[in-house]
Every structure is written in C-alpha cells, then in structure tokens.
A and B are shown apart, each in its own frame.
Chain A
C-alpha cells in the first residue's frame, strides 16, 4: 500500500509517496540518499540510526515512515547550518576525541541534542542515560561524555567550520 506523507525534513517542507512497510531508516537512506543515518543492528539496540522526530530521539529502524506525516524530522545532515557553522555538539565531538570510527557518531550526536534541547544543563548521569541506547565500541564513551558535558550548560554559540590550527594548545 502506498500513501502520501507531508513532513519537514531538515528544515525543508517535503511531500512524497511512500510504501506503508518502509521504515524511516529506509526512507532516509535508500529513497532520499541521506546516508549519514547509519544502520548498526536494524532492531533498535544500537542507536546508530537515531534521528529526531519532533525533537525526540527515535530509532529510525523501528519507526515506520508512515508515522512521520505532519512531523519535523532532523537528521545529521540537517544539524550543521547551511552556511558552514557546525552545531556546538558536532564541534565538541570533533575537538574532544568523541569520534573514532565514526559509525555511531551521527546517532550519538542526535541523542545528545535531544537531551540538551530538553535539559540544556544536563549533568553526567543524565547524559549517560540519554546515550545509553547508543552503542560505541571505539571510545569507551569517556570522550563522548566529555564532549557532551562541554556543551551542556552553555548557551549555543555559533562556531565557524575551520580547519584545525595545529599548535593551539588546550
């Protein structure tokens, strides 16, 4: 069965025909080519496919595409601003070692964003709870938690994307 859904995708009004059985993950990756959303398990265990639906972090592998009608969807591709400003969470992950192989990164950053949007001054335990459904095998989570903490409690600041200047000591 087919149906038409209307939704806002990364800030753009979108209207399209979808199949009833499609997951949101399938819609994003296979139909729309937004491959920044990753599939790590396909069963809602690892969080690599996390996107925001009306600001809530959801596993897009378990979320039916039909359910997005009227909703606002944010994927990793929509997080950095079009004029080249990284979201503070992206900047923090880059600068603080929150990324190794990077496969969990898009989902991890979006789970963190959902948390900080709701609770801008989240403490360590709240951060751990918020990303408990996002598995990372590389980092041991330490530098991920550190990245999120560095943003928590601070007003959003715009940060220009620049190549890293070697020699800037911390």
Chain B
C-alpha cells in the first residue's frame, strides 16, 4: 500500500516545461539595459614574471569602456587558501592566470581590445610534476610559502596498521593514478554584475553556493573600500553544476571590478575554449595503497598515501582528502587505517570539487585493491565484499555512525542482475565495486544547515522559499513534493523559489549530495509548522479540535465527519479578512546533528551514509585493447526514493560520467597547457556510447531522512572506474592502474603480459629495431 500521494511518484521536474519550450533563462540569456561585455586575457606562459603591461592601445579602441590589470585593482584574495587574485600582478603561475580584463559595448570589440594589450613576460622555469615540485631545488610557485607543499596536514592513523600488517595472512600493495577531468557543464560559466547608486552589488551568477558567494563578494567589496554594502546574488537557470560552482572565481570578481570601474552592468560569459582552460578540474591523485586480511578474508588494515597535484592556486580540490577519508576508513569494516595526503603546488591548472569530491579517486584504488586482495586470499570478489560489508549500527574507526545500510542487499542485487556467475566467452569479464558516500549532509562548515520560509497566499497556493540550489538535478521538485505531501495539496499548488539571496534563506550550498536530506528536512519542518497554523485556524472555523482535522485534496476535513470541511483558499482568506487577522507564514532552519571532523579527523560527518554497488560485464578486444560494456548495473541504497524518475536520472547521468572518467575523458596538459580544449578531443561520451544500464533502487528507510530519504546526487560516478577495471582484469588478466583506461594502456598491458611489445615482437628479441606506435 502506498500511503503517500506525492512522495515516491515519478513526477516531472517543475521547470521541465519551460526548458522544453526554450523559455528558461540561463546566464547567456540574461541582458539588462546598458550592459557591457567583459573579456579576460590569459597568460601566455605557465610560469613567468610580468615585466610590463601596456593597455594604452586597447583603451583607445572605440567602444572600450574599461581595461583593468592586476596593477589597477585592490588586494582581493580568493580561494580556499586565499592564494589567488582576480587579476595577477608580479608573476603568472599557470596558463589560466588572468592578466587583464576589458569591458566594451559588444563582444567583438572586447575581443579586439584583448588583442591590443601588450604584455611582456620573463619566463621562469616551471614545474609540472608534483613529485618534482616536492624537491628542494624545485622552482617555487608561491615564494612566500617557502615550499611547494601545502600546509594542509591530511593525516590519520586509527588502530595500529603496522601491527595489523604483520598479522595479516594476505597483503597486497600497489600504485594507482588518476588524472584531470572536467565537468563539461553544457551551459558555460558566467556572471553579470552591477552596482546601484549607493554601491550595493547585484550579481547574477552560476553558483551552487549563493549564501557563501554572497559572503565572498562582501569581502571583495570591503577590499575595494566599499564597507557595509549589500550584496544580492541571483542565480539564473544553471546549465549544469557537478561541483564546478562550489567556489567563487576570478571571472566573477572581474565582472564586479569592471562594473565598479564603468558604473555599468558588466557580463562575463565563458566560451567553450575558456570553459576548458580556465575552469577547475577534478583533483588528480597519485595513490599508494596496501591492504591486508586474515585467513578468513576479514580486512585487517588499509594503508594509503597520496600525492595531489594542487596546481598553481588552491580551491576545493586540495580539500578532497577530507572526503577521500570516508571510503578509506569506512568502506567495508576495516579496524586499522592509516592515510596521508600531500597537496603540492605546480604550474598546472588547479582543481575543484567535482561530483564525488575525491571519492571516485580513492574508491578506484580501494576497490581495485579489494579484488586484488580477494584473489590473493582465494575468495571470489562477491563473497569477499560480503564478508567485509558494513551493516546498520556499525561505527567506523573515524566515528562514522551507520544508521541505515543496504550494502549487502546492493551486492546481491548486482550479482543477480548481472548474472555474475554466468559462463563467459573469451575476452569477457565481470567486475563489481562498492561505494559509500555522505547521504545526510556533511558538516564542512560550522553550520550544515538550510532555511525554508513558507508563505500561503489567499488562493490556497503555497510559496516555498528555500536556500537550496537547483542546477538541473531537480531539488525544487523534490522540495515541492515534500511540502505537497505534508500539506495534502496537489503539486501544482506548490511554487519553489530558490534563486535570490534577497528572498531565500541561508544554505551552505549544493554539495555533498545534501540537498534532498538537508533542504528536504528543512522544507518538511516548515511545512509542519504551517500545517499547525492551518489546522489551528480551521479548528476555529469548523469548530473541530485541531487534532481531529486532516489536510487532503486542498481541503481541511474533520476526520470524523468529512462533510465538515473548508476549502484551503477560503480558509486562508478567512485567516486575515477578519478582526485580529493573521498571515500564514512559517520559517524553519534545519541543521543536521552531524559533526565536524576533529583534529584527528574523527567525527560523524554526515547524519547518514548512502551505499551502492556497481557491476559491469565487459568484452575486451585483445587485438586493440578496446573495451565494450555489455551490461551495467548500478544498485543504490537511497533510503527512500522521493522521486524515482529524477533519482534514476541522477544515477544514469552519474554512471555515464563515471564511464567517461574510467575509459575516455582527460584534460591533456603538456607543460601546463591544455592540449584538448574541446569536446571532441576531450572525448566526452555521446548517445552512441550509452550502455545497457539498469539502476535497482533499494530503500532502507533512513530514520532521519525526509520520508526516509538519503542523498544520491554524487554516488552514480563513484565506483564506476574500479568496477570496469575489475571487469577488464577478469576478462584479460591485466590490472589497469591509471585512468583513463584507454585502449592504448590496455593493449600495452596485454602485450606486456604476453611478453611481446606493441609491435607484436617478443620482448628482448630484434634488439636493433625500435617499436614505434603512432597514437
């Protein structure tokens, strides 16, 4: 029996109709009167002194309204480590460094003006490999730091790893690496800023963190000498987020600075080339892992160290170890864990949050190593995982409290759907990999909260003002479903407003798959409060005690006599068209009872954790190294699916992003320069690459989630790469340890195993000839 009328239904996204008819306004579409177009000049070197910048010719170009360089602007520091500036002065540290910016009456003039800016550089030696950057004699990226190693001590040790290693019956140890990939949001980055006469700022910007962005911009205004000013952040419709909009960026400050300089609205919107070269990537990692178990296959220890290429500046990429810790300490039951990560400055691009936030990198190593250890222990991969699977009630060494866990059920679902023990043809293989992710917020800041205001109008329609940020994932729809459910109203009577910091309450941002859980609980809390007000008002009108009233189909009924009822809108009009009238409004701030990580990184980061298992059947062509995915199953324990259709959309989209990460996608940097800044060379997947996919949803009904729900935004792309790596190993017996697992890499590994080179000749013979493969 389904006791819900809206929750659990496959209702379409509230904004889908506008999007299907071309009505939605993205930053590209927003125009205001008098608007100027801003463009940015980037560095020509990965590491160089700026000797001289001559902007005089650009300034003289008709139609140009302002030209700014790093020497014209106040000291605005940005980024997680405050080591970045909107425009660089003194020196550049990467190819994406912003050197100058122009505002002009149209885009063509702005572009022409850029070409008239003359910059003289004095090249400095660069360093592009984090291992090389750690050497004593390496060129320093930020001289004032004295070293290229960031002072971020990501280091934990729970239990006694060295002792556990000695006691292990089986131990495996290996290296893995992951590279740069990027979000590829279809709508490129952009911001439109202007000031009113009192120097208050309004900024339209693509952001996942409106409240935190507001704070960043207020600080920037203060640095510009504008104290105590208001900042209003408005989000247009966002053309994809995936973590890319979790920080504030140079281009946003450049729009603000140009707007201040010109006293006009200025819009900066990236073209696709800029989107590839000047937005941040997923954090790359060099990973060393050792893992051991006893004779029965029970994990005894996990020991991981990582080197992370931080790039030239510090954004959230450098903090991904905080999330990598989660699978490292808590994916499966591991009593002894050690982890250390070093972030190192280089002259490469800098990294950012991206769907999974470090989890895909760590899980690639962990789940590859799980299969290696299972093989060493002589246990099949499915049984090995079940022996070690987390369970409800488990508390991990990092103090993560597992309050609902469907991991074993997910393993079984995948094994069954994949028909895992089915006989395989030559070159065919199956692989599985599990995931854990935060599913009930993540206390990264002092608050992990979200506010909601509900206002009911005279006509029975409900406005829900939420702090949550919709960027296409459908949070507005899920929030509307939750409120509609609680108030017994049809969904079309609920209007969710999430776009404007002047109107919407505070929220920490759309990250950590937290919106359904945190913003959902916040909306539910506000709905309960407004429901109380409605029942109290109806009680007087109907002369029925409030506890004997029910809300259903847009009416308030007496539970005992359903002829005693009042239509919702009529009731609301009565509420204030009367003596001592009142408005029906409620606010609720929900902050989950999760914990910040302590100095030892212990703490129950999330109210609950989402689990999942991915399984894949592949066929590997031994002549070409090409992988064909025959079937993909992605099972997740989601607590409760508020909207199964949107949930499946998150999983399908995540899995395809994960397959790209596993097999094709990479930003190729050559001495810091992006060599493939377009979709074709980046090798983003297309509809032709879609694989037969199934997404079983398991509902463990989380005790703290809204209607039992847990977060599911990120998990879809977390265990994809190791599942495929494990399947490739099963198929052809080679372990690929570096992403992406291109045909070249797989073929080289197959040839190496066969003892022949890539030209098919026995290694060690024909010594005079060199095998050259054109790639």
A residues contacting B by CB (< 8 A) are 34-43, 45-46, 48, 75-77, 79-80, 86, 90-91, 93-97, 99-106, 109, 127-129, 131-145, 161, 163-170
Contact = CB atoms under 8 A, between A and B. Distances in A.
Given A95-B12, A137-B657, A100 B474 contact: yes
B11 A101 contact: no
B690 A142 contact: yes
Given A139-B653, A167-B5, A86 B645 contact: no
Nearest to B480: A166
B21 interface: yes
Interface in B671-726: 678-680, 684, 686-688, 690, 693
Given A97-B648, A138-B649, 16 more contacts: A35-B29, A86-B20, A90-B20, A93-B16, A99-B13, A102-B237, A133-B686, A135-B186, A135-B679, A137-B653, A140-B657, A142-B690, A164-B11, A164-B492, A165-B492, A166-B5
B9 A169 contact: yes
B6 A141 contact: no
Given A80-B21, A100-B472, A140-B655, A38 B26 contact: yes
Contacts of A143: 645, 648-649, 652
Contacts of B184: 135, 137
Interface in B631-674: 645-646, 648-649, 652-657
A166 B490 contact: yes
16 contacts: A37-B22, A48-B186, A80-B21, A86-B17, A97-B645, A100-B474, A101-B185, A102-B19, A104-B186, A135-B184, A135-B684, A136-B186, A143-B645, A143-B648, A143-B652, A163-B492
B16 A94 contact: yes
A103 B645 contact: no
Contact of A101 (B10, B25, B471, B484): B471
Given A43-B678, A94-B17, A103-B26, A137 B185 contact: yes
Contacts of B655: 140
B28 interface: yes
Contacts of B17: 86, 94, 161
Contacts of B267: none
B24 interface: yes
Interface stretch (B218-226, B238-246, B329-337): B238-246
A145 B687 contact: yes
Interface of B: 5-6, 9-13, 15-26, 28-29, 183-188, 237-242, 271-272, 471-474, 481, 484, 490-492, 645-646, 648-649, 652-657, 678-680, 684, 686-688, 690, 693
A11 to B, nearest CB: 15
Nearest to B183: A137
A46 B20 contact: no
Contacts of A140: 649, 652-657, 690, 693
B21 A77 contact: yes
Contacts of A90: 20-21
Nearest to B491: A166
A101 B12 contact: no
Nearest to B689: A141
Contact of B240 (A101, A164, A168): A101
A86 B16 CA distance: 12
B678 A128 contact: no
Contacts of B657: 137, 140
A139 B271 CA distance: 22
Nearest to B17: A94
Contacts, number: 193
B20 A94 contact: yes
Contacts of B9: 166-169
Contact of B690 (A39, A43, A128): A128
Contacts of A161: 17
B6 A166 contact: yes
A156 B188 CA distance: 35
Contacts of B472: 100-102, 138
Given A100-B474, A167-B5, A39 B28 contact: yes
A144 B22 CA distance: 17
Contacts of B474: 100
A94 B29 contact: no
Given A101-B240, A138-B653, A140-B653, A42 B271 contact: yes
Residue of B12, B21, B185, B687 ringed by the most chain A CB atoms within 10 A = B687
Contacts of B684: 135, 137
B679 A41 contact: yes
A89 B553 CA distance: 31
Nearest to B187: A103
Contacts of B19: 99, 102, 105
Nearest to B658: A140
B648 A100 contact: no
B21 A76 contact: yes
B688 A129 contact: yes
B20 A164 contact: no
A137 B240 contact: yes
B290 to A, nearest CB: 35
Nearest to B647: A97
Given A35-B25, A35-B29, A36-B23, A101 B187 contact: yes
Contacts of B646: 97
A60 to B, nearest CB: 13
B28 A38 contact: yes
Contacts of B183: 137
Contacts of A91: 20
A141 B12 CA distance: 16
